[in-house]
Structure 1
Amino acid sequence: MFAKKLLDIANCQSSDSRKYKKQWIETGNNYLFGLWGLIVHLVLLWGVLDVNFHSPIIKELPVVPAPSGSPAKRVLLFVADGLRFQTFIDKPPPYLRDVMKNKGVWGISHTRVPTESRPGHVAIAAGLYEDPSAIFKGWQENPVDFDSVFNQSHATWAWGSPDIIPMFTKGSKQNVHGSSYPSAWQDFDSNLNNQTMRLDSWVFNAYLEWLQSSVAETLRNQNGIILFFHLLGCDTLGHAKKPHSRQYVENMNYVDLRIEETVNVTENFFGKGTTAYIFTADHGMTDWGSHGSGLSSETETPLVVWGAGVKSSAFRQDIEQASIAPLIASLIGIPVPVNNEGVLPWQYFDANYQEYVGHFLLSNVKQLAHQVTGNRAITGETSIDWRETQLNNRIRKIEGHIDKGSIIDGIREGEETISFGKEALSYFRQYQRIRFLIYLSIMWLGWIVVLFLKITGTKRKRQNLRISLLQFVNIGFACLLIIMLIGYAVSNSSNWRLPCYASFAVISVWFAIAKIITLTPVFAKRSKKKLFIDIGGTLFLLVILFVGLTYRFALSIGILSLILIRIAKSKNVPAPMIWTSIALCAFPLLPVVEPYPRIYIVLIGICVAMSIVIINETSQSRRIMEILRLIVTSLVYTEFLDGRYWISWIILLTTPLCIWYYPTEIKKRILGIMLGFFCPLTLLSASYEPLFFIILTINLHCWLPATSRNSGSAQKITRDLIKAAFFMLYILLCFFGTGNMASISSFDPSWTRHFVTVFSPFLMTSLILFKLSIPLILVGCASYSLESEEYKKPVSLAILFLGDCLSLPLMYCVTPYGSWLDIGSAISKFIIALSLPCLFVLLRCLSYPLMELNLKRFRIDLLPQKRHIV
């Protein structure tokens, strides 16, 4: 008998040990799953930005020497910032009009989007269009040092705006000298009138002073000199007064007058026939005084060229803006910048310089061929591509024409070769981008398989075969990973990005196959009608979510569809749910919330909340507490009380205590969460946000009895997905119900005026993010209350699954081309689709303490009852 008891105890201990070991392994697997999910999302986020916005600039490219015999010793480059071609040609300034007719050539310089100052000046000086890596500097400056005609010149002097001149002096070889006026002068106040002319006046006066210096005297006969005049007056007046205004035209004429003066002084000082002149603009401007997009008024800028080596006729030749860089280089005989993509406009030159132009165009082609070779090497390809072979053959053909004296044939062949070279350059750049995106997509697909099996999977039978197959897969993928990394190390490639993304893709597939071996998906048997509703409804709502990221009104259609799906699944849909859903549809149709407070709308929300408390709250103490909080909040919002120092902060910090004072019954606790967060949300609101929060709460409140929390283990993937689609719709509605894509970067500090008014970026940003998180916390609590106690896999995983499915097509929508608004919108859509579900999963962790904790459980009896009387 005793031995039997010992055996039972041993078996019990062994069973407990196995159970504990199983729980420990399962917990470890969950942590590994969470860690891998975090890594995947971080790599996806960084990878998409890195692939699309990696700089195309290659610094190690060789410099192609320029031929001798240049027509000019120096060039004066005048860039009238923001001068559009339409205004220039409709009301041409007198001196430049005379130059266009009698002394030089002219045309339209076609810019590329984004039509902004920095990329425009980089294109003019370097022949390089927008460097997408500038996004990491907020588009304010070029983060990568680039080669330009200023660097290649013997010496360059530049005068102009403090936003433009330092961009070229920063990475120069000590041969670029620049001066700027104070940044405070760049004032867009429309009341300044002609004071903006001092911006351009300072530039011309600075040049005249420089001519009187000893430096100018020593450079009188020096070749390869560039003098750069950045003229900001037109841009400033265009923003303030619009480009069709009298002040804008007057500033253009003033610039024209000073250019005439500068040309006369230059010719007298350096001698006639030794200087070339270029007048152009970095970008144009719309009728309403903006620029950045691709309208013709923004992309068409004037170009006038005259002086040494230039045709003296009314010849017009339109060119691309990047072609100005090789034009400058050819006029003074300096090498073309190594990353130049422009084509030498050989038609601009006098016929006497035809042979020189042919040789320089050959240098232009060779420089582009070096870029093609460099970009091919970056892709990891070690062998010469057929495009390079054909490019080299064409270069030899051009050399043959020039050697035979057939200069025109060589020039024409050179133009065709440059077109072919630019196509090859574009191919290798796109090839690299597509390759990286494929690696990211493979990693994403592997993660989706792991996540799908995490939601639906159960362990397979035949454990011995499963273990053997799993070991084989682990060894195979480990060897593949090692071989791939060794191959990269042996190749001596400097592109570390390629093996990194490839490694993540291999590891993701490795984990996915391991999950497929160990788990199998299980689906519940359901009627065809319900299955069609679940799958069809999920796909339709995903489309709505995709469209809703761009057009807010699509979310209204989604809410109506959500009601129809619920009615189709269950006829017992509460009437308040239908009416509140219709009310929610109105918010995406309203104008976005602006920073200017609309006090009466906020007070209406407070009155509605007070009515809810009076009608629904049965506890006298909680009713008094909530009414007092609402009254104090209204007094602070209307500024009868100053809440910055303690009142507003007390309301905010006591929110959890107010919520925990409510009973843990689901409906009452959800009501407590709404009322608890309502007051701090109101103090951070500017318009209809409190009303939106109330209606959202009532809608979710009506959903709670419609779905049983103890629905059992029959709740499987299709039902989870449709429920996850509902929550995804609510998640996007939480943000886009009161804002839009532009609101992401337009938060106003005035929203936090009831908490802090002294500028504090970190504190203000934290408060605004807290405001945005409040509706998400409410949706997370609703998700927690609707989850099955028996079915332990939370719906939040299904929400993460749908969010990641939504992010894949958006990943391919991110592009480095277009206006900064287009680029920013594409990035914002991808980040929202990728991060909002993750944020929801994190905020849902707060749902447990908010839904389960109760202050009454922690009540301490200070005077316990005595059981005995002494």
Structure 2
Amino acid sequence: MFVKKLLDIANCQLSNPERKKNKQWLETDNNYLFSLWGLIVHLILLWGVLDVNFHSPIIKELPVVPAPSGSPAKRVLLFVADGLRFQTFIDKSPPYLRDVIKNKGVWGISHTRVPTESRPGHVAIAAGLYEDPSAIFKGWQENPVDFDSVFNQSYATWAWGSPDIIPIFTKGSKRNVHGKSYPSAWQDFDSNLNNQTMRLDSWVFNAYLEWLQSSVAKMLKNQNGIILFFHLLGCDTLGHAKKPHSREYIENMNYVDMRIEEIVNMTENFFGKDTTTYVFTADHGMTDWGSHGSGLPYETETPLIVWGAGIKSGFRQDIEQASIAPLIASLIGIPIPVNNEGALPWQYFDINYQKYIGYSLLNNVKQLAYQVMGNRAINGETSIDWRETQLNSRIRKIEEHIGKGSIIDGIRESEEAISFGKEALSYFRQYQRIRFLIYLSIMWLGWIVILFLKITGTKRRCFRISILQFVNIGFASLLIIILIRYTVSNYNNWRLLCYAAFAIISVWFAIVKIITSTPVFIKRSKKKLFIDIGGTLLLLVILFVGLTYRFALSIGILSLILIRIAKSKNVSPPMIWTSIALCVFPLLPVVEPYPRVYIVIIGIFVAMSMIIINETSQNRKTMEILRIIITSLVYTKFLDGRYYISWIILLTTPLCIWSYPTENKRRMLGIMFGFFCPLTLLSASYEPLFFIILTINLFYWLQVISKRSGNTQQTITKDLIQAAFFMLYILLCFFGTGNMASISSFDPSWTRHFVTIFSPFLMTSLILFKLSIPLILVGCASYSLESEYRKPIYLAVLFLGDCLSLPLMYYVTPYGSWLDIGSAISKFIIALSLPCLFVLLRCLSYLLMELDLKRFRVNLLPQKKYIV
């Protein structure tokens, strides 16, 4: 039926009323298809860019390289102090581990990678691989795919610690990995629970001492290949709550040191001397303000101390975090994990184990060679690459050196081979990256053409159906040919087929849109045209720079005011002054987790003054003042809002907003007053002041728009300049109080008035809600603007955001520093997702702007009728 109506319209065989009716039917149907295709394209691009650059490094069914005999130790005790940063540890070294550093073992810095979170840090330590960013969508708690680790390869592993870490290695693992955890309710970030924080680590140490007295420990007394894993969460919890330079943090570090000394003495007495090796490290560090997740040195530098059987003494050697896995495997004589990327730090071993070191390094090279071979096969290459041939040649040379007794030469050749193997591995993992990016770019350009014609185009009255048929048959045939070629060639890389297919489909839809639509432009004066086009391009450049440098947003706000003055003489002084005030916020230091209560209290008094001055209804005035007073008592901790008060304030926000009149200006103030209280409870500094000034600025902008509402004629250039204004507001909402690092880093103190027990999903949801509140306000302003112009502006916002994300796609790269890589990913995701989020919040704004509680009032008593 759809095809028949399209053919009738194309051949102009219907009467005018029928044609108009069928065109309306087609337009409604096309709107749903347009929205669905837009959603699919955005999801594919978001997934595709991460997939192309950070495809999972894990390859299943790789061969396991058997470990050599003659390992130095029978067992390893692995202590991981979660959130312990290197600088604090060195400056305030605890006594026992300080003595180990000087007299008993090898120590250094373990360099981690972004994201500096608990899950990837522990995976790097145990498996020797760095995960792709897709694991972050599962909160670093579940295995995105099964991976091999030293725990799996060991004869048996016992692990004790947090319920967020231990299940990573016990869930779906072999029967040789055993783990126990304390209740998740113990992970409480309340700063008043200092004495209860040490029980997190105390429980772990006590659990090991109980195991040491069990019959299982006695049975395994002389067994090789045993790993005992201690996950110690106390430092991380106190670092978030009290900061890593606090007295409580250092006390917990000293407590861990004291208990490790006790554990070592008990272990040596039970198993005997020179049979156990001890490894002490951390999964990630921590900033001065108690957060982690980005790439600052305080977050990426962690301590590493190794002592015991087979280890040198008084020696320093810095390594990559992934190198801990082959070190543990080689110490107890188990196979290196099959997906390991680390290089065995052979310098840690005692000189008496040179021959064993030579064979262990040879296994390290072979294990990398198997990964190179597996990655080459995944990329569809059937013939052996020269890199693989050279790596195999190096393996033969190493075997010759060791066979002749030239162990030192074999070690040197092994180091070079490991370095070459990692380069070859990196090459194959990035193989065909350019082709993938080209396919994604073609798909994205096709979508941008469709979106542009959706904004500016109108349906053609007549067009040649033969051209449309030729295009449809041609693209359908091309898809079939690609699918047949893929099937016949037995090519196992389905990713390339999918990206190519979506690129073809996108171009197909774009050409059909060009055939069936034509853009319409309204002639305007050269001055207005220059202001609109020049202003749009200027703001786009500022937005691009603003993703990296916050101060550019201040320049953008000043430019916005100048453009408005050039376009209209109705710009009011309050609007100018509030714009200047908004320029100040990107120049201020980013909001830190340290609560600056006095700044928040200033914002509360300003909001209360606005309510007293602007609110005419006595009932609403009383309600809002009461909410703000309760909010201030909760924020200053006179009331504890975690159990019900804070949640009541949050959940009753929509009801307070809907009690205001639906007139745009009054409802905008109601939205500000309604969201002000939950925003304040989630604030740490000047966020409430920013929200108030942003509201006033948008309020006076809408007043200017209403004065010009008589001229509803819109053009594409006028739409784009308005969309550029909104894009600037969107980025200002996101970066006005923070930057990339402060937004990506997690700190539980932001949610302390709602929840203090560790809950990643709930805490992240509250932080995202806080970030969304200013965006909701901008979405409501967009809705008010559309009601004045009677034409949607959100499509133009989406168009500019998509144009901005196209060049940023090429900045996402797996090369360079990890901080640069993480920042490039964040910029691309923000440019891609913020306009989409704005569109969603703009849909939500309909409920906030139009719903009125007065419409739902019901008279409980029947009306009486009187006869006069």
Give 1:156 shift: 1.4
Q: Of 780, 785, 788, which aligns to 2:788? A: 785
C-alpha distance in 2, partners of 1:24/1:271?
84
Structure 2 match to 1:324 = 324
Structure 2 match to 1:454 = 454
C-alpha distance in 2, partners of 1:543/1:70?
60
Give 1:158 shift: 2.4
After superposition, the C-alpha distances for 1:488-513 in whole angstroms (9 at most, x for unaligned) are 34455555444333322111111223
- 1:722 aligned partner, one-letter code: I
Q: Of 533, 549, 570, which aligns to 2:531? A: 533
Moved more, 818-827 or 383-392: 818-827
C-alpha distance in 2, partners of 1:18/1:252?
78
Structure 1 match to 2:797 = 799
After superposition, the C-alpha distances for 1:377-408 in whole angstroms (9 at most, x for unaligned) are 34444444333233223223323333333322
- 1:777 aligned partner, one-letter code: C
Moved more, 810-819 or 640-649: 640-649
C-alpha distance in 2, partners of 1:304/1:672?
63
The structure-2 alpha-carbon separation of the partners of 1:209 and 1:637, relative to structure 1 and needing over 3 Å to count, comes to closer
Structure 2 match to 1:385 = 385
Structure 2 match to 1:128 = 129
> Within 5 A, what are the aligned runs for 1:108-119?
108-119=109-120
TM-score of the pair, normalised by structure 1: 0.79
1:722 maps onto 2:721 in alignment: yes
- 2:725 aligned partner, one-letter code: F
Give 1:435 shift: 4.7
Give 1:306 shift: 3.3
1:506 maps onto 2:504 in alignment: yes
C-alpha distance in 1, partners of 2:847/2:561?
28
1:138 maps onto 2:143 in alignment: no
Structure 2 match to 1:488 = 486
> Within 5 A, what are the aligned runs for 1:61-100?
61-90=62-91, 92-93=93-94, 95-100=96-101
Give the secondary structure class of the aligned counterpart of 2:315.
coil
Structure 1 match to 2:705 = 703
- 2:154 aligned partner, one-letter code: S
After superposition, the C-alpha distances for 1:746-805 in whole angstroms (9 at most, x for unaligned) are 9869799xxxxxx99999999997885354233223234235xxxxx8554333321221
Structure 1 match to 2:859 = none
Q: Of 550, 558, 563, which aligns to 1:560? A: 558
Moved more, 628-637 or 435-444: 628-637
Moved more, 192-201 or 526-535: 192-201
- State whether residues 555 and 583 of structure 2, in contact with CA within 8 Å, keep that contact through their aligned partners in structure 1: no
The structure-2 alpha-carbon separation of the partners of 1:135 and 1:38, relative to structure 1 and needing over 3 Å to count, comes to same
Structure 2 match to 1:279 = 280
Structure 2 match to 1:858 = none
C-alpha distance in 1, partners of 2:800/2:212?
67
Give the secondary structure class of the aligned counterpart of 2:430.
helix
C-alpha distance in 1, partners of 2:575/2:122?
54
Give the secondary structure class of the aligned counterpart of 2:316.
coil
The structure-2 alpha-carbon separation of the partners of 1:132 and 1:676, relative to structure 1 and needing over 3 Å to count, comes to closer
Give 1:332 shift: 1.6
The structure-2 alpha-carbon separation of the partners of 1:820 and 1:606, relative to structure 1 and needing over 3 Å to count, comes to farther
Give the secondary structure class of the aligned counterpart of 2:231.
strand
- State whether residues 731 and 779 of structure 1, in contact with CA within 8 Å, keep that contact through their aligned partners in structure 2: no
The structure-2 alpha-carbon separation of the partners of 1:653 and 1:766, relative to structure 1 and needing over 3 Å to count, comes to farther
- State whether residues 472 and 508 of structure 2, in contact with CA within 8 Å, keep that contact through their aligned partners in structure 1: yes
Give the secondary structure class of the aligned counterpart of 2:71.
coil
- 1:68 aligned partner, one-letter code: S
C-alpha distance in 1, partners of 2:21/2:492?
49
- State whether residues 284 and 301 of structure 1, in contact with CA within 8 Å, keep that contact through their aligned partners in structure 2: yes
- 1:700 aligned partner, one-letter code: L
After superposition, the C-alpha distances for 1:709-757 in whole angstroms (9 at most, x for unaligned) are 354xxx64334322432344455567777888768999869799xxxxx
- State whether residues 133 and 142 of structure 1, in contact with CA within 8 Å, keep that contact through their aligned partners in structure 2: no
> Within 5 A, what are the aligned runs for 1:840-855?
842=843
Structure 2 match to 1:581 = 576
Structure 2 match to 1:605 = 610
- State whether residues 784 and 847 of structure 1, in contact with CA within 8 Å, keep that contact through their aligned partners in structure 2: no
- Structure 1's unaligned 5+ residue stretches are 1-10, 611-625, 660-668, 753-758, 788-792, 856-861, 863-870
After superposition, the C-alpha distances for 1:66-107 in whole angstroms (9 at most, x for unaligned) are 122323222232334444444544565555455445544333
C-alpha distance in 2, partners of 1:836/1:349?
54
The structure-2 alpha-carbon separation of the partners of 1:159 and 1:401, relative to structure 1 and needing over 3 Å to count, comes to same
1:425 maps onto 2:428 in alignment: no
Moved more, 284-293 or 640-649: 640-649
Give the secondary structure class of the aligned counterpart of 2:229.
strand
Give the secondary structure class of the aligned counterpart of 1:77.
strand
- State whether residues 629 and 651 of structure 1, in contact with CA within 8 Å, keep that contact through their aligned partners in structure 2: no
The structure-2 alpha-carbon separation of the partners of 1:783 and 1:740, relative to structure 1 and needing over 3 Å to count, comes to farther
The structure-2 alpha-carbon separation of the partners of 1:105 and 1:726, relative to structure 1 and needing over 3 Å to count, comes to closer
Give the secondary structure class of the aligned counterpart of 2:721.
helix
- Structure 2's unaligned 5+ residue stretches are 1-11, 632-644, 681-687, 756-761, 857-862, 864-868
Structure 2 match to 1:613 = none
Give 1:315 shift: 3.2
C-alpha distance in 2, partners of 1:684/1:213?
52
1:468 maps onto 2:466 in alignment: yes
- State whether residues 142 and 168 of structure 2, in contact with CA within 8 Å, keep that contact through their aligned partners in structure 1: yes
Bigger Rg over Cα: 1
Structure 2 match to 1:20 = 21
Give 1:559 shift: 3.6
Identity %: 69
> Within 5 A, what are the aligned runs for 1:183-582?
183-186=184-187, 198-236=199-237, 238=239, 243=244, 252=253, 255-286=256-287, 289-311=290-312, 313-431=313-431, 435-457=435-457, 463-464=463-464, 467-492=465-490, 495-519=493-517, 521=519, 523=521, 529-548=527-546, 554-569=552-567, 573-576=569-572, 579-582=574-577
The structure-2 alpha-carbon separation of the partners of 1:751 and 1:340, relative to structure 1 and needing over 3 Å to count, comes to closer
C-alpha distance in 2, partners of 1:500/1:316?
49
Give 1:238 shift: 4.9
TM-score of the pair, normalised by structure 2: 0.79
After superposition, the C-alpha distances for 1:168-204 in whole angstroms (9 at most, x for unaligned) are 2223211012233444555556666676555444444
> Within 5 A, what are the aligned runs for 1:41-52?
41-48=42-49
Give 1:309 shift: 2.9
C-alpha distance in 1, partners of 2:199/2:628?
46
- State whether residues 398 and 410 of structure 2, in contact with CA within 8 Å, keep that contact through their aligned partners in structure 1: yes
C-alpha distance in 2, partners of 1:192/1:672?
45
- 2:716 aligned partner, one-letter code: I
Structure 2 match to 1:866 = none
After superposition, the C-alpha distances for 1:782-830 in whole angstroms (9 at most, x for unaligned) are 234235xxxxx85543333212212334445567854999589547623
C-alpha distance in 2, partners of 1:497/1:427?
18
C-alpha distance in 1, partners of 2:85/2:730?
44
Give the secondary structure class of the aligned counterpart of 2:116.
coil
After superposition, the C-alpha distances for 1:395-444 in whole angstroms (9 at most, x for unaligned) are 23323333333322222121111111112222233346655444332211
- 2:781 aligned partner, one-letter code: L
How much is the aligned-residue C-alpha RMSD, in angstroms? 4.5
- State whether residues 41 and 834 of structure 1, in contact with CA within 8 Å, keep that contact through their aligned partners in structure 2: no
- 1:603 aligned partner, one-letter code: M
C-alpha distance in 2, partners of 1:200/1:727?
50
